[in-house]
Structure 1
């Protein structure tokens, strides 16, 4: 599931994928320049999540805050 989503983001040029030839295998994903154009949108979503975290927790949702 996650792999499929990452592949779609890569196909749409939102993320860049870098494969390292090592053992164990290592792959890193980062926002492409095109993906960075989503920064404002992602910041707004992050702000919304922080503002509504208590509501989510009251409903028994597992919440992980990682807005960077």
Structure 2
């Protein structure tokens, strides 16, 4: 099965660490990162889609994608 996640966070090192952790768990970048101003908080936000192929399992909506 192929899994998809969209990671998001503030424009700081915590976002980079979140993406790095996903890459080290076998996730791969998918597409370009996004960068947008959050008017509610007055901060910049980052986003990155990641995908992962997992053999031998079937998708279920209740699964925790970050644990795969």
Q: Which has the larger radius of gyration?
A: 1
Which structure: greater strand fraction? 2
TM-score, with length taken from structure 2 = 0.30
Query: Which protein has the bigger helix share?
Result: 1
Bigger relative CO (Cα 8 Å, ≥ 6 apart)? 2
